Structure 1
């Protein structure tokens, strides 16, 4: 533990019995501490992972302490305060070396914390004898300690978390408990918590059966792990498979969740009356731990196929683990509720469908920044005008709150109205400028900052007239005859909206195969890099793209610049097709025969279109996996779309629901199980995921081999 002794008996200096004077509990002390003058800064600006770690520390019934930063500022809980005695409460928020004085330099004290902090490797300390003040006197107690690093949301080590247990019977599991705490602190969703908990229980307790359950309306949903399951790294990254159970009074899991009382059965058939398979009927020993918070009821059960005596020390460890899991699950539920509301608000203000044109293809993508809990102000739109031209826009309202989203909605609605009356960029931008100025005057806030790039595309010849109000210029990708090139469009820079500026336009022409990409500044801005470097990376990514397909460009753009961004990311791409493409769609019912129907339909359609057999086989295999995934996880019908051009086959599978799961703000994985991820990465030329107003779309692209001499292309 931070500042707690060495392997030999050590007395903390100046420890005395705690007097009867009132001392605030540690949670009160943390709230009252003047953090502004420390490296942590104001509490409201704390890193989300650090904040979550502190919440776990304060809620834990076992002694825990966080040593933050290079000075190892101490944040600890009430159980830890009992250990350090008279040094509490002055120790809260102070550097560990200052708190413990010369003892900090003793073997096994400060050096251990420093080594874990510097190397990032967790460390488990064997039993140590400690002098602890209790009942007015100092007593010797045995402690085992586990030290794990705490990383912020960017992955940087920011502190060391120490967990201590006053027992000699759980030393082998103490390090796992510390790691569980650290991992739970970084979870965002209930899915994340389930993955962490199941992995912890299976490895730390070496059980045959483990179930994590949470309430879901009038029922419960649960996810299970059993011994012998083949779970690889890909599965660990993917959403767990949830099942439902009603309020069955025979289920130990339901009883624990509803009553709040744990149960420990050393031998018998605890799951016999509710068993769903042979494995559950073989369980003989079972522990059912309630997970109870003001807003969540759930349970964690672990079981063995042989008789098992639940010793007091093991029960104590389970109590501590269950408390940590319950707090993490409640925090995840709050995040999901806030995240879902913000996502729905954000996406309800964006177009649910983009125009489908004969000679031009359009795609867009929006990824939320920050922690996914706030609505942002980035927006895009594309719509046909009365004369057949296409209006397209991408804009950014500064801020990450409901107000920014509201302003964004007003600007987008006004832009449509203005463009449908007079689509000329100068006229539309002037009208938006008056609107933003009026909104600023109404709210008496001169800090409304809105940038927009707006263009009108003439579908007859590919000409685009562009105007910019303080927004980064689009990227133009030229297909050319050989290697593709890319450059920033020279759009005259105009003032952001609301400042009473004037705007000039420029014109570019898309030749067959060319694409234009509009983007928000979150795509290219990074704190540690100049803007020019980000723009250069984006241009290089567009030039190096395997094709100019809009979905592909949007996917590449969001990952073109290294490093993470705290800003929202919006992109809109338009490609002028080389030739007319062929497309077809199918609605797949949410039933077991759905994937086979897709395979039959797709095989017939692609063969009719003359697609090479190797491409057909690979595409059907990937589509079948994606369809199965959509039906399994969303529980709603899926929509499969195939689009064939002269150079590529594009397939997308969309679902319209998530059974309550939430997609994380920053995700780099495909929500497919088993071999699906590997198949798509191996067989396709590029793929990606696109969130929608409801549900999500997963797509992949396969480039077609050039037609043989004398054969007619598709």
Structure 2
């Protein structure tokens, strides 16, 4: 048995008189401990070699513990006290087997320490697990350490204890796990906005950084997005497209310099952003790492900064480099997607009408959303145009496929339909001519798989009737106006898809003031996991429950009526027979800081002149100001505000011409007040939504006029 400094029994209360709360563990605390009452005796009687080791332990900033005697009684410094959490101060002077009873018998725990003590063989634990700090009453969580155990000898060379030096590696272990989660999150990103959002969130939290930025090239220039510690973002903000800042091509920003050179840089202490600081947050940064993104199609860089000096250990540099590698791969995929996606969408929407007819007694709106991943052109189309008779022709069709050929055929069918209708507007005659055209296209292409469905109608406002004919298309829906609004499907005589030699038939139904016609593609109602009847029932219920028959609102209601994602394109066209003509006005909004204020004054004056109720004016001005600011922030281009007032509702739309990809519903939450906008729109309006256009997007909202069937709340204070 190796020599000891005294046999230490296992007392039930090993340190009588020890304070109940946390105590210091430095030299003064060691001297104050009642060692004389323990079998170890007073410190002045300890062996000089042991006393010297104890002094080293107590003076060291590294977590260290000295375990003495056969019972391996614990003595430790402040670093080790922090490491063991609420076990301190009770662990001082107690056998280690008692202090860590729950893990002592596990492999590599107590057995390793006892082996060092008995055999004198040093031992290194690369991944030691001990329960972590339990302060606050929460459950103990495992912490990971790298620990070295060495025998301690007295002046005669006898082993009297074990010295343990611990380095907590829990953070590194968590960062490695987080890196795996980061890779998984990046794998689901499609756009550079997605990549930036995921990157900023991960790096800020995983590296416990004070500042994180991502820069990417934008042709000859650059754009950068940044997050700082303490920035208040709610759940809605996390879904928003990040706010990019445009940077000049010759910028001296470390991110841009690193992106241009492809060489990483690490500033351990100083003011790396002093000459290029955008604000006080940049000025406070003292340590900054800049890593280039490795990609063949995009240049960029990631920066991670701290307000305190940082040595940038090899492990941390490797972890940052691995993160930048993942970001580069994701950014490359996103750049390729955005390029292809933008081309496909531009092709798709260039074949759809940019402007729908503006008529005094008919209000018209349409909506198109790409299916699959939005990365290919599709064959859904819609159109509305005036006929020689003064009636309105409306059409919605679907050419099977999601490729350029499908889009080209869609363009041919749409152009031919309009030409046929202008010469003979009878729906059955129009579809008869289209049937021959599609059959001819199939013969020329050597395929019998050209599948085209279409519904065509003629709206006669003077006679208050609607005449429809269908070639294999889902039945149109009419929302009947009045106090008891309801929706009904029109029983159009069924006909086969175009190109099969079928004969179309027509049906004529009433279409009175207050009614709204809804044409839609099968992507609106078809889902893989449910039958078509369920989808149609869901659409009918949603349209019946809509707050008004406004066509733009009904398009939004229809596209969201059936839950779940669809792989098909979605196209909707709505036409409302207005009870009375509406009044309209518009304003071009320049991309200037004063633009939102100018919009507020113009809108207030216009609505007051139209004698709109004060509550509606206040709500509309607040919402419009938010949407205008949003459009200017994200598109960076001029916008247009349009208002349309009817007896039932006020409709306001804000259109931008940005080209950064399709706008989603979540984007409307990036408003001037950061997180307040979505709440304002939902609280103060009766319906709202976003519509993609050929270039940019349109965000709109609708407020019902008091007395028309819905209450309008007063605007919130402030």
**Under a length normalisation based on structure 2, what TM-score does the superposition of the two structures give?**
0.74
Q: Structure 1 CA distance, aligned partners of 2:407 and 2:522? A: 17
SS at match of 1:239: coil
Counterpart in the other structure of 1:672: 670
Q: Structure 2 CA distance, aligned partners of 1:168 and 1:700? A: 50
Counterpart in the other structure of 2:383: 381
Counterpart in the other structure of 1:212: 214
In the TM superposition, 1:232-243 aligns within 5 A as: 232-243=234-245
Displacement of 1:144: 11
Displacement of 1:459: 2.0
Displacement of 1:670: 2.4
Aligned counterpart in structure 1 of residue 300 of structure 2, from 275, 298, 301: 298
Displacement of 1:707: 7.8
SS at match of 2:255: helix
Counterpart in the other structure of 1:582: 583
Is 1:169–1:313's contact at 8 Å kept on the other side of the alignment? no
Q: Structure 1 CA distance, aligned partners of 2:308 and 2:454? A: 67
Aligned counterpart in structure 2 of residue 363 of structure 1, from 357, 365, 382: 365
Is 1:210–1:301's contact at 8 Å kept on the other side of the alignment? yes
In the TM superposition, 1:510-521 aligns within 5 A as: 510-521=511-522
Counterpart in the other structure of 1:414: 416
Q: Structure 2 CA distance, aligned partners of 1:511 and 1:175? A: 63
Counterpart in the other structure of 1:94: none
Counterpart in the other structure of 1:336: 338
Q: Structure 2 CA distance, aligned partners of 1:553 and 1:407? A: 28
- CA offset digits 1:141-185 (Å, max 9, x no partner): 96899xxxxxxxxxxxxxxxxxxxxx9872131221111111101
Counterpart in the other structure of 1:527: 528
Counterpart in the other structure of 2:541: 540
Counterpart in the other structure of 2:567: 566
Displacement of 1:255: 2.0
- CA offset digits 1:89-131 (Å, max 9, x no partner): xxxxxxxxxxxxxxxxxxxxxxxxxxxxxxxxxxxxx9xxxxx
- CA offset digits 1:172-206 (Å, max 9, x no partner): 31221111111101101000000000001110111
Report the more deviating stretch, 698-707 or 544-553: 698-707
Unaligned runs of 5+ in 1: 1-125, 127-139, 146-166, 709-714
Counterpart in the other structure of 2:592: 591
Aligned counterpart in structure 2 of residue 183 of structure 1, from 178, 185, 197: 185
Counterpart in the other structure of 2:451: 449
Displacement of 1:491: 0.3
Displacement of 1:656: 1.2
Q: Structure 1 CA distance, aligned partners of 2:345 and 2:433? A: 29
SS at match of 2:408: helix
Q: Structure 1 CA distance, aligned partners of 2:495 and 2:634? A: 46
- CA offset digits 1:47-85 (Å, max 9, x no partner): xxxxxxxxxxxxxxxxxxxxxxxxxxxxxxxxxxxxxxx
Is 2:239–2:666's contact at 8 Å kept on the other side of the alignment? no
Displacement of 1:238: 1.1
Is 1:170–1:317's contact at 8 Å kept on the other side of the alignment? no
Counterpart in the other structure of 2:247: 245
SS at match of 1:296: coil
Q: Structure 1 CA distance, aligned partners of 2:628 and 2:243? A: 16
Is 2:630–2:668's contact at 8 Å kept on the other side of the alignment? no
Counterpart in the other structure of 1:604: 605
In the TM superposition, 1:272-287 aligns within 5 A as: 272-287=274-289
**1:528–1:143 distance in 2 versus 1, CA, 3 Å:** farther
Counterpart in the other structure of 2:692: 691
Counterpart in the other structure of 1:624: 625
Q: Structure 2 CA distance, aligned partners of 1:169 and 1:640? A: 51
Counterpart in the other structure of 1:44: none
- CA offset digits 1:189-243 (Å, max 9, x no partner): 0000000000011101111111101111111111011122222212111111111
Counterpart in the other structure of 2:662: 663
Counterpart in the other structure of 1:200: 202
Counterpart in the other structure of 1:155: none
Displacement of 1:292: 2.0
Counterpart in the other structure of 2:93: none
Counterpart in the other structure of 1:472: 474
Matched, 1:705 2:700: no
Is 2:342–2:661's contact at 8 Å kept on the other side of the alignment? yes
Displacement of 1:249: 6.2
Is 2:367–2:573's contact at 8 Å kept on the other side of the alignment? yes
**1:168–1:432 distance in 2 versus 1, CA, 3 Å:** same
Moved over 6 A (4+): 140-145
SS at match of 1:428: helix
Q: Structure 1 CA distance, aligned partners of 2:494 and 2:618? A: 49
Matched, 1:491 2:489: no
By relative contact order (CA 8 Å, sep 6+), the higher-ranking structure is: 1
Counterpart in the other structure of 2:645: 644
Q: How many residues align?
A: 546
**1:671–1:693 distance in 2 versus 1, CA, 3 Å:** farther
Is 1:221–1:245's contact at 8 Å kept on the other side of the alignment? yes
SS at match of 1:211: strand
Q: Structure 1 CA distance, aligned partners of 2:616 and 2:251? A: 53
**1:623–1:571 distance in 2 versus 1, CA, 3 Å:** same
Q: Structure 2 CA distance, aligned partners of 1:422 and 1:235? A: 53
SS at match of 1:508: strand
**1:271–1:248 distance in 2 versus 1, CA, 3 Å:** farther
**1:544–1:590 distance in 2 versus 1, CA, 3 Å:** same
- CA offset digits 1:363-403 (Å, max 9, x no partner): 00001110110111000000011221100000000111111
Counterpart in the other structure of 2:224: 222
In the TM superposition, 1:42-191 aligns within 5 A as: 170-191=172-193
Is 1:239–1:671's contact at 8 Å kept on the other side of the alignment? no
- CA offset digits 1:523-566 (Å, max 9, x no partner): 00011111111111111111111111101110000011122111
Displacement of 1:245: 1.6
SS at match of 2:415: helix
- CA offset digits 1:223-271 (Å, max 9, x no partner): 0111222222121111111112223363321221111111111101111
Is 2:661–2:696's contact at 8 Å kept on the other side of the alignment? no
Is 1:626–1:698's contact at 8 Å kept on the other side of the alignment? yes
- CA offset digits 1:562-592 (Å, max 9, x no partner): 2211100000001111111111111111111
Is 2:655–2:696's contact at 8 Å kept on the other side of the alignment? yes
Displacement of 1:291: 0.4
Displacement of 1:413: 0.6
Is 1:523–1:570's contact at 8 Å kept on the other side of the alignment? yes
Displacement of 1:497: 0.4
**1:459–1:312 distance in 2 versus 1, CA, 3 Å:** same
Matched, 1:424 2:422: no
SS at match of 2:333: helix
**1:144–1:171 distance in 2 versus 1, CA, 3 Å:** farther
SS at match of 2:542: helix
Q: Structure 2 CA distance, aligned partners of 1:249 and 1:374? A: 36
**1:690–1:249 distance in 2 versus 1, CA, 3 Å:** closer
Please say which structure displays the higher CA radius of gyration: 2
